[in-house]
A = this chain, B = another copy of it.
Amino acid sequence: MAPPSPRVVVKVDLNKKPWQQNQPLHNRWHPEIPPVAEVKAGEFFRVEMIDAMGGVVKDNGSASDIKNADLTTSHHLSGPIKVVDEEGVAAKPGDLLAIEICNLGPLPGDEWGYTASFDRENGGGFLTDHFPCATKAIWYFEGIYAYSPQIPGVRFPGLTHPGIIGTAPSKELLRIWNERERQLEESGLKSLTLCEVVHQRPLANLPTSRGCLLGNIEEGTPEWERISKEAARTIPGRENGGNCDIKNLSRGSKIYLPVFVEGANLSTGDMHFSQGDGEISFCGAIEMSGFLELKCEIIRNGMQEYLTPMGPTPLHVNPIFEIGPVEPRFSEWLVFEGISVDESGKQHYLDTTVAYKRAVLNAIDYLSKFGYSKEQVYLLLSCCPCEGRISGIVDAPNAVATLAIPTAIFDQDIRPKTRKVPAGPRIVKKKPDVLKSTYDGKLPITKNPTSSSA
């Protein structure tokens, strides 16, 4: 009889530092990072992963770990995993690698996660101009459910998924990435709108040796020195998949990744217990350690057959995904709309980013009327199973973006209604300063001068 259990091809030890793991981790994309494991097409295998921040964020009420986090070490990926077909022949550039997610979850004994917003000086997030301080919420898992002492009154089933799944880039693709991102960094400031400058966030995250982990390539060797200067950061999603943050990539999903190097060199990490579309607070999903149980298939020549390059070279392609059949079933959604007019009243031209920012701000303001602080809602909308949609993209000058929130995650009815007793102050059911404890005591949560409702 066939062995039913998945073969564990990458194992992690949560008591060890990222750089101490038996199968060394990596936090960069580069064709020369050698595989740490090999799997056959059709084989059922398991990969374990530490959390994106590599264990520096602790299960406590202080956000000081977030405030001082070193983003150059993110994310800590497991792999690369070399994929070969039934005959042992490796996946080849031009193939498509089809990966089925058969199962996933937190690592046993480590059933908790965190959602955070970075400080303005340290990466920021989508709404840094409104929420400039580091905050943190801890989530505990009760099976499929998550709840947070910092955000009481909500409990929801997670739509768990890997934030990052990707193949290694080829040398040529890596060169393209570095070039185009460097160009943005250099020329970017001129074309930025006011709204974006206020963000004061880095425009791109260029290669840096600092914090670099390259798997089996030993730090300090000449090889490490060279590669660490050219290896791409894992922050953005790109042609190889990577940090795509597609919240519905849960059990039963299938991911079709282009293969750029011999063996495909698949890496995964950044497990999310749950995430809202957009992952708005940046460290916005419920970040956790976890495992994936996978099956791979090689679609020979699939890249040429199915993916049309959309740029100067045949490498400008994008992965394809198939969403799985198992998702929480919500029947009621409250939907907030944003149009591409920013908070100063300025009109932007079909700018979906501005429109989505407004939709999120509208939702935050609305939910803050039900006893939550705005910081709480900001974190909540980063990690709960809310949907961000591009509703209208053609009706000049306004893009219309919408944010849909399942009402069932709240323990109160959050829909607008005619109140029996219209006058008098609203009863605050949640302590508005409940997130305060996640600060270091230096940054009072109530002083948020740029907040829209101030």
Contacts and interface: CB of A to CB of B under 8 A. Distances in A.
A198 interface: no
B322 A5 contact: no
B330 A331 contact: yes
A356 B398 CA distance: 15
A308 interface: yes
Q: Give the contact-size bracket for chain A.
A: 35 or more
A416 B302 contact: yes
A351 B191 CA distance: 12
Contacts of A306: 366, 369, 416
Interface in A363-402: 365-366, 369, 387-402
Contacts of A322: 332-335, 415
A220 interface: no
A281 to B, nearest CB: 8
A316 B328 contact: no
- Copies of this protein in the assembly total 4
A188 interface: yes
A332 B321 contact: no
Nearest to A365: B308
Nearest to A387: B389
Given A60-B1, A390-B390, A326 B328 contact: yes
Nearest to A346: B180
A350 to B, nearest CB: 6
Contact of A251 (B143, B244, B279, B321): B143
A204 interface: yes
Nearest to A128: B394
User: In the complex, which of the residues A308, A325, A369 has the most CB atoms of chain B within 10 Å of its own CB atom?
Assistant: A325
A338 interface: yes
B201 A408 contact: no
Given A1-B60, A235-B395, A422 B300 contact: yes
12 contacts: A4-B110, A104-B143, A157-B252, A181-B347, A196-B349, A248-B335, A308-B453, A318-B339, A320-B336, A320-B337, A323-B333, A325-B330
Given A143-B252, A300-B418, A320-B334, 20 more contacts: A2-B140, A2-B149, A4-B111, A5-B109, A176-B345, A180-B341, A201-B396, A204-B396, A238-B339, A245-B400, A246-B391, A278-B394, A280-B394, A299-B417, A308-B366, A316-B341, A321-B335, A323-B404, A331-B408, A352-B390
